[in-house]
Amino acid sequence: MTSSRSRPARALLTLTALLALGLAACSEGPDRTSAAPASGGGAGAAAPPSTPAGPTGTALRVETVAGDFANPWDLAFVGGDRMLVTQRDGSLSLVTGLGPGARVTPVAADLSSVYARGEGGLMGIAAAPDVATSGSFVTCQTHQDGGRPVDVRVVSWRLSPDGTRADRVQDPLVGGLPVNPSGRHSGCRPTFAPDGMLLVGTGDTARATIPQDRGSLGGKVLRIDPATGGPAPGNPFAASGSAAERLVSGYGHRNVQAVAIQPGTGRGWSAEHGPDIDDEVNVVIPGSNYGWDPAQGGESPGGYDESVPMTDLDRYPDAVPAAWSSGDPTEAISGAAFLDGPAWGDMAGMLAVSAQKGEKLYFMRPGTGADENRIVEVTVPPELDGEFGRLRGARLGPDGALYLTSDNGSDDVILRVTRA
């Protein structure tokens, strides 16, 4: 392994908290400050056979591409060996070079309206499929007017050919996503799907009624036409009289941090923060409810009851059970990207999921056939277990390498991960 830090090698950890679909009961969760329902709202936890090592037993090479960032939220590849990096405080940088010693230069862009507080600020970024020629990309950002938080919004931009400047094209492309003045649960990360449509995971801003309200854009996975900001063709609620509901693909989420597209299938998989138990990885199934309801069906609409299950199958029997759940404790999973390409060998097809609180990277293998909606294998490589602190962004580069961002607040880095 090549790394900016080193320590004795440790055995790979194999996690066994995989959530099984279709089971009606699970073991009792740990005690909490209030009476805690069973983890997963009645969905059982199936433990796969323990394995002594990772998917291949092959070491990883971890290289520092660039450093001296502060809370880099996300990155997007914009042609050649260039990537854009967002920092939560409202800074946008161009990184030239895909390996150690890359050059970092600021991008001139009007980001003065970014409301950077708590979990909010300049967040996710995604480059259009034709970015190398069009310069088109989108960002997720919290928006303020005169210091007053207004909303979370998706903004479209055009990067100059030399990468020194970005100009707003549509602001907002999509607006009206709820915002919490504290910045809480502001999650917003866009990803382009193979059909050219834009998938955006959003947070519920810690307001109890928002996740189950399809007329609100918070606590959702949205599917958007990037040319218009309107609903993508074929959206499940396209006939709704609510403009917001027409954008919704899935609802009943707490704080979606990422949506990744599975190679070969085009299916989306989302990573989501739980309260003090049950971070979740979910399969994106259009029109589905994912069962988070801190308003308890309207019984406590004024409060935000986090003792409810992440997926409440008692209240919502048709809710989609998690493909994977962290159980207790949460890891604050964040970025998600599928490994793809021959360089990954038998690791290709695994979902890489970064963790902030857990300070690690997970490799998760989706099942096939009857298990296609489940994660059936989870490993943690020692090279990325506590070595770089909090890990947030995760994107696959044009060279097939996995790129990660650390999120420690200062001296943060961009990492390039390959098989050794």
Among 1-10, 175-184, 289-298, 325-334, which is the least confidently predicted range?
Answer: 1-10
E-only strand ranges, 78-232: 82-87, 91-96, 103-106, 122-127, 136-145, 148-159, 166-177, 188-192, 198-202, 221-224
Is the pLDDT score of 14 beyond 80? no
> Is a pLDDT exceeding 70 seen at residue 303?
yes
> Residue 184 pLDDT > 60, yes or no?
yes
Secondary structure (3-state) at 298: helix
What mean pLDDT comes out for the span 292-308? Answer: 91
Greater pLDDT, 164 or 50: 164
Can you tell me whether residue 127 is helix, strand or coil?
strand
Token reading at 288 = 């589905």
Tell me: pLDDT of 2 over 90: no
The H or E element spanning position 131 is helix 131-134
Position 56 pLDDT exceeds 70? no
Average pLDDT over residues 20-43: 32
State the pLDDT at residue 366: 98
Task: Identify the residue whose tokens are 């007053």.
Answer: 148
Reduced to 3 states, what is the DSSP secondary structure of residue 384? helix
Alpha carbon distance 107, 370 (integer Å): 47
Q: What are phi and psi of 388, to 5 degrees?
A: -125, 15
Read off the pLDDT band of 118 (50, 70, 90): very high
Whether pLDDT at 1 is above 60: no
Strands (E), 262-408: 268-272, 280-283, 324-325, 333-338, 351-355, 360-366, 375-380, 391-396, 402-406
CATH architecture of 13-22+41-48+55-419: 6 Propeller (2.120)
Counting residues of the chain whose pLDDT is more than 70, the rounded percentage is 86
For the stretch 197-220, pLDDT in tens is 999 999 999 999 999 999 999 999
Residue in the structure block whose two tokens are 């020692």: 382
Q: How many residues does the chain have?
A: 420
For the cut 90, the answer to whether the pLDDT of residue 249 exceeds it is yes
Whose tokens are 């998917």? That residue is 55
| Whether pLDDT at 81 is above 50 | yes
Reported as a single tens digit per residue, the pLDDT across 308-337 is 999 999 999 999 999 999 999 999 999 999
Amino acid, res. 42: G
pLDDT tens by residue, 266-290:
999 999 999 999 999 999 999 999 9
Round the average pLDDT of the chain to a whole number and report it: 89
- pLDDT score recorded for residue 301: 75
pLDDT for the residue numbered 25: 28
- Do you find a cis peptide bond into 309, omega within 30 degrees of 0? no
Query: What is the pLDDT averaged over residues 381-389?
Result: 98
Instruction: State residue 57's pLDDT score.
Output: 64
Query: Which pLDDT does position 302 carry in this prediction?
Result: 75
Q: Is the pLDDT of residue 30 over 50?
A: no
pLDDT band at 15 (very low <50, low <70, confident <90, very high): very low
Domain ranges of the chain: 13-22+41-48+55-419
Integer Cα distance of 398 and 417 in angstroms: 13
- Rounded to an integer, the average pLDDT of 403-413 is 97
Residue 176 has pLDDT above 80, yes or no: yes
Q: Is 297 helix (H, G, I), strand (E, B) or coil?
A: helix
Averaged pLDDT for residues 40-44 = 39
Q: How many CB atoms lie within 10 A of CB 402?
A: 26
Look up the pTM and report it: 0.88
Structure tokens at 380: 């943690």
- Pick the residue with more confidence: 55 or 87? 87
Q: Is the pLDDT of residue 27 over 80?
A: no
What pLDDT does 65 receive? 98
pLDDT at 262 over 80: yes
pLDDT, residue 36, reads: 30
